[in-house]
């Protein structure tokens, strides 16, 4: 009888323990918290090791060079020089005709030397009282209707430019004086030539009677 009660008590205790274990296993699980792992304190950050930079190799390509243009008043190496007054003769040809009180002439410069030379640009032209006299009135203005070109003059050859003369008496304010002819300065030259051609001029410099074009081949 006593042993039967002990057996029943043990069985009940075992059943209670089993029930408690079953309840624990079936209970809700605790949520997991999301954590962020930070680098450990004191851990040195790794940076790229500095390396000495190597300069790029010098370019072996030759530097481009642009041929220099001749300075004003000069010619390129190997070319004939500019024509100078000492090697020229000067003359005018009035075959250009006239219009509205103006006369159009050809100013001709001829190479009298033994070497070729180049005429480039505009002559300086003035009316003068005599071969050695000072200019009268205003010098010729430039007429750029014909472009500047190099005119190569072999010995005996001629370059020509259009010279226009306007009658002095066309201007009411003109102080009329006599002129003996024209003083001609070849382009880029300080020496001059004289062409005897009596005409009238205006001594007041604000009146311009002359214009000159660029030299062209004759």
Residue 174 belongs to domain with CATH number:
2.60.40
| Within a domain: 129 | yes
| Within a domain: 78 | no
| Within a domain: 153 | yes
| Within a domain: 70 | no
Quick: pLDDT tens for 96-123: 777 778 999 999 999 999 999 999 999 9
| Within a domain: 72 | no
| Within a domain: 200 | yes
How many domains does one find in the chain?
A: 1
| Within a domain: 113 | yes
DSSP-derived letter for residue 2 is H
| Three-state secondary structure readout of 67-104 | CCCCCCCCCCCCCCCECCHHHEEEEEEHHHCEECCEEE
Quick: pLDDT tens for 56-104: 555 454 554 555 555 555 666 788 999 999 999 999 998 777 777 899 9
Domain range for 121: 85-217
| Within a domain: 40 | no
pTM to 2 decimals?
0.65
Q: Once rounded to an integer, what is the mean pLDDT over residues 189-212? A: 97
């Amino acid at each position: 009888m006593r042993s039967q009660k002990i057996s029943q008590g043990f069985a009940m205790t075992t059943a209670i323990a089993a029930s408690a274990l079953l309840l624990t296993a079936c209970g809700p699980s605790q949520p997991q918290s999301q954590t962020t792992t930070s680098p450990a304190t004191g851990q040195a950050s790794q940076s790229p090791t500095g390396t000495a930079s190597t300069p790029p190799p010098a370019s072996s390509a030759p530097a481009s060079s642009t041929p220099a243009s001749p300075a004003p008043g000069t010619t390129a190496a190997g070319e004939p020089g500019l024509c100078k007054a000492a090697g020229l003769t000067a003359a005018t040809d009035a075959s250009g005709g006239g219009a509205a009180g103006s006369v159009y002439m050809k100013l001709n410069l001829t190479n009298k030397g033994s070497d070729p030379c180049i005429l480039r640009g505009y002559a300086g032209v003035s009316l003068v009282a005599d071969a050695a006299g000072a200019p009268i009135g205003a010098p010729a203005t430039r007429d750029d209707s014909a472009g500047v070109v190099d005119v190569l003059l072999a010995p005996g050859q001629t370059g020509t430019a259009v010279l226009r003369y306007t009658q002095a008496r066309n201007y009411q304010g003109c102080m009329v004086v006599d002129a003996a002819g024209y003083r001609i300065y070849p382009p880029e030259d300080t020496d001059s030539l004289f062409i005897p051609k009596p005409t009238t001029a205006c001594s007041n410099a604000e009146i311009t009677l002359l214009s000159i074009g660029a030299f062209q081949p004759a």
